[in-house]
Chain A
Amino acid sequence: MEHFFFGRLGWDDIAIFDIFRDPTASNIVGSSAGWLAVIGGVIVAALLLIKGWWRPLLFTWLNTTDHKKIGIMYIVTGLVMFARGVAEGVVMRSQYVTSYQGGYLTPDHFSELFSTHGTIMIFFVLMPFLIGFMNLLVPLQIGARDVAFPRLNQISLGFTIVGAMLLMISLVVGQFATGGWTGYPPYTGVAFQPGTGPDYWIWSLGLSGIGSLLTGINFAVTIYKMRCPGMTFMRMPIFVWTALCTSILLVFALPPLTAVVIMQALDRYLDFHFFTNDLGGNMMNFANLFWMFGHPEVYILILPAFGLYSEFTAIFSGKRIYGYMSLVIATMAIAVLSFTVWLHHFFTMGQSPTINVAFGVATMLIAIPTGVKVYVWIATLWGGRIRMRTPIIYLAGFIFFFAVGGYTGILLANPTINFTVHNSQFVVAHFHNVLLPGTLFAVLAGIYVWFPKFFGFRLDERWSATTAWLFIVGFTFAFMPLYVVGLMGMPRRSPAFDDPSYIPYMIVTMGGALCVLAALGALIGTFVVSAKRREALAVPGGDPWDGRTLEWATPAPVPEWNFAFIPEVHSQDAFAVEKSKGTVYDIEANSYEDIELAPTSWIGLTIIVFGTALGFAMVFWMWWLAILSGLALLIHAIGLGFVRDKGEIIPADVIERTERDWIAMAQQGRFTDRRDEVSTDNRGFAARISEA
Chain B
Amino acid sequence: MTTSTANANSHPGLNLGPAHGQAHKDAETVVFGFWIFLMSDLVTFAMFFATYAASIHATAGGPGNADIVDVTSIGLQTGALLISSLLFGIATVAMKHGSSPRSTILWLLASLAFGLCFLGLEVRDFIDAAEKGAVPMRSGYLSAYWALVGLHGLHVTVGSLMILVVCVQIAIFGFADDVKTRVLRLGLYWHFLDIIWIGIFSVVFLPGLLT
Which of these, A221, A260, A279, contacts B29 with CB under 8 Å? Answer: A221
Residues of A within 8 A of B100 (CB): none
Let me know if B60 is at the binding interface, CB within 8 A: yes
Contact at A270–B137, with CB atoms within 8 Å?
yes
Let me know if A579 is at the binding interface, CB within 8 A: no
Contact at A279–B40, with CB atoms within 8 Å?
no
Known: A263-B51, A274-B51, A641-B165. A280 touches B40 (CB 8 A): no
B residues 160-199 near A (Cβ < 8 Å) are 165, 169, 172-173, 182
Quote the shortest CB–CB distance from B140 to chain A (angstroms). 3
Contact at B60–A259, with CB atoms within 8 Å?
no
Known: A229-B2, A255-B47, A274-B51. A282 touches B40 (CB 8 A): no
Quote the shortest CB–CB distance from A271 to chain B (angstroms). 4
Query: For residue A220, which residue of chain B has the nearest CB?
Result: B36
Which of these, A224, A260, A282, contacts B140 with CB under 8 Å? Answer: A282
Contact at A149–B33, with CB atoms within 8 Å?
yes
Contact at B139–A252, with CB atoms within 8 Å?
no
Contact at A225–B136, with CB atoms within 8 Å?
no
Contact at B29–A225, with CB atoms within 8 Å?
yes
Bound form: Cα–Cα A548–B210 in Å: 65
Residues of A within 8 A of B54 (CB): 282, 285
Bound form: Cα–Cα A638–B165 in Å: 7
Bound form: Cα–Cα A256–B165 in Å: 30
Let me know if A300 is at the binding interface, CB within 8 A: no
Query: For residue B33, which residue of chain A has the nearest CB?
Result: A221
Residues of B within 8 A of A213 (CB): 40
Which of these, B32, B46, B58, B169, contacts A221 with CB under 8 Å? Answer: B32
Residues of A within 8 A of B157 (CB): none
Residues of B within 8 A of A641 (CB): 165, 169, 182
Contact at B58–A255, with CB atoms within 8 Å?
no
Let me know if B147 is at the binding interface, CB within 8 A: yes
Let me know if B144 is at the binding interface, CB within 8 A: yes
Residues of B within 8 A of A379 (CB): none
Interface size class of B (residues with CB under 8 A): 35 or more
Which of these, B44, B139, B172, contacts A279 with CB under 8 Å? Answer: B139
A residues 257-280 near B (Cβ < 8 Å) are 258-260, 262-263, 266-267, 270-274, 276, 278-280
Contact at A266–B43, with CB atoms within 8 Å?
no
Contact at A256–B43, with CB atoms within 8 Å?
yes
Bound form: Cα–Cα A566–B2 in Å: 13
Q: 1/0 contact trace for B121-161 toward A, CB 8 Å?
A: 00000000000000011111111101100010000000000
Quote the shortest CB–CB distance from A300 to chain B (angstroms). 14
Quote the shortest CB–CB distance from B172 to chain A (angstroms). 7
Residues of B within 8 A of A224 (CB): 32
Contact at B139–A280, with CB atoms within 8 Å?
yes
Bound form: Cα–Cα A259–B173 in Å: 37
Bound form: Cα–Cα A259–B43 in Å: 9
Known: A213-B40, A224-B32, A641-B182. A289 touches B47 (CB 8 A): yes
Contact at A271–B137, with CB atoms within 8 Å?
yes
Let me know if B39 is at the binding interface, CB within 8 A: yes
Let me know if B8 is at the binding interface, CB within 8 A: no
Residues of B within 8 A of A276 (CB): 140
Bound form: Cα–Cα A229–B4 in Å: 12
Residues of B within 8 A of A251 (CB): 36, 39-40
Contact at A259–B1, with CB atoms within 8 Å?
no
Contact at A272–B137, with CB atoms within 8 Å?
yes
Let me know if B59 is at the binding interface, CB within 8 A: yes
Residues of A within 8 A of B30 (CB): 149
Contact at B143–A274, with CB atoms within 8 Å?
yes
Query: For residue A289, which residue of chain B has the nearest CB?
Result: B47
Query: For residue A248, which residue of chain B has the nearest CB?
Result: B36
Bound form: Cα–Cα A63–B161 in Å: 27
Contact at B40–A217, with CB atoms within 8 Å?
yes
Contact at B1–A279, with CB atoms within 8 Å?
no
Let me know if A642 is at the binding interface, CB within 8 A: yes
Residues of A within 8 A of B1 (CB): 229, 566
Quote the shortest CB–CB distance from A379 to chain B (angstroms). 35
Contact at B43–A255, with CB atoms within 8 Å?
yes
Interface size class of A (residues with CB under 8 A): 35 or more
Which of these, B28, B44, B143, B169, contacts A273 with CB under 8 Å? Answer: B143
Known: A213-B40, A251-B39, A263-B147. A273 touches B47 (CB 8 A): no
Bound form: Cα–Cα A220–B29 in Å: 11
Q: How many A-B residue pairs have CB under 8 A?
A: 116
Quote the shortest CB–CB distance from A124 to chain B (angstroms). 22
Let me know if A148 is at the binding interface, CB within 8 A: yes
Let me know if A218 is at the binding interface, CB within 8 A: yes
Query: For residue B141, which residue of chain A has the nearest CB?
Result: A280
Contact at B43–A273, with CB atoms within 8 Å?
no
Residues of A within 8 A of B172 (CB): 642
Known: A255-B47, A282-B55, A566-B1. A272 touches B147 (CB 8 A): yes
Query: For residue B54, which residue of chain A has the nearest CB?
Result: A285
Q: 1/0 contact trace for A237-263 toward B, CB 8 Å?
A: 000000000000001101110111011
Bound form: Cα–Cα A251–B39 in Å: 8
Residues of B within 8 A of A489 (CB): none
Known: A256-B43, A272-B147, A285-B51. A279 touches B140 (CB 8 A): yes
A residues 630-680 near B (Cβ < 8 Å) are 638, 641-642, 644
Bound form: Cα–Cα A607–B39 in Å: 25
Bound form: Cα–Cα A458–B210 in Å: 71
Bound form: Cα–Cα A623–B37 in Å: 30
Bound form: Cα–Cα A644–B179 in Å: 11
Quote the shortest CB–CB distance from A220 to chain B (angstroms). 6
Which of these, A225, A260, A279, contacts B28 with CB under 8 Å? Answer: A225
Query: For residue A225, which residue of chain B has the nearest CB?
Result: B29
Contact at B59–A280, with CB atoms within 8 Å?
yes
Q: 1/0 contact trace for B1-12 toward A, CB 8 Å?
A: 110000001000
Let me know if A281 is at the binding interface, CB within 8 A: yes
Residues of B within 8 A of A229 (CB): 1-2
Residues of A within 8 A of B182 (CB): 641
Query: For residue B37, which residue of chain A has the nearest CB?
Result: A217
Residues of B within 8 A of A252 (CB): 39-40, 43
Query: For residue A276, which residue of chain B has the nearest CB?
Result: B140
For B32, B43, B59, the residue with the greatest tally of chain A CB atoms inside 10 Å of its CB is B43
Which of these, A259, A270, A292, contacts B48 with CB under 8 Å? Answer: A259
Bound form: Cα–Cα A226–B9 in Å: 12
Query: For residue B32, which residue of chain A has the nearest CB?
Result: A221
Contact at A270–B32, with CB atoms within 8 Å?
no
Residues of A within 8 A of B67 (CB): none
Which of these, A255, A263, A279, A642, contacts B41 with CB under 8 Å? Answer: A255
Contact at B60–A262, with CB atoms within 8 Å?
no
Contact at B60–A218, with CB atoms within 8 Å?
no
Residues of A within 8 A of B151 (CB): 262
Contact at A273–B139, with CB atoms within 8 Å?
yes
Query: For residue B28, which residue of chain A has the nearest CB?
Result: A225
Query: For residue B138, which residue of chain A has the nearest CB?
Result: A279
Residues of A within 8 A of B62 (CB): 279
Bound form: Cα–Cα A642–B139 in Å: 44
Bound form: Cα–Cα A221–B39 in Å: 13
Query: For residue A275, which residue of chain B has the nearest CB?
Result: B140
Bound form: Cα–Cα A272–B142 in Å: 9
Contact at A148–B140, with CB atoms within 8 Å?
no
Quote the shortest CB–CB distance from A257 to chain B (angstroms). 9
Residues of A within 8 A of B140 (CB): 273-274, 276, 279-282
Which of these, B32, B43, B58, contacts A280 with CB under 8 Å? Answer: B58
Residues of B within 8 A of A226 (CB): 29
Residues of B within 8 A of A217 (CB): 33, 36-37, 40
Contact at B2–A255, with CB atoms within 8 Å?
no
Instruction: Write 5 A-B pairs (CB below 8 A) sorted by A numbering.
Output: A217-B40, A225-B28, A255-B41, A263-B143, A281-B140
Kindly list the 6 A-B residue pairs having the minimum CB-CB distance in the complex, ordered from nearest.
A280-B140, A280-B58, A259-B47, A255-B43, A255-B44, A272-B143
Extra contacts, 17 of them, besides A217-B36, A221-B36, A251-B39 (Cβ < 8 A), are A217-B40, A225-B32, A251-B40, A255-B41, A258-B44, A260-B47, A263-B147, A271-B137, A273-B60, A274-B51, A278-B60, A280-B58, A280-B143, A281-B58, A285-B51, A285-B54, A638-B165
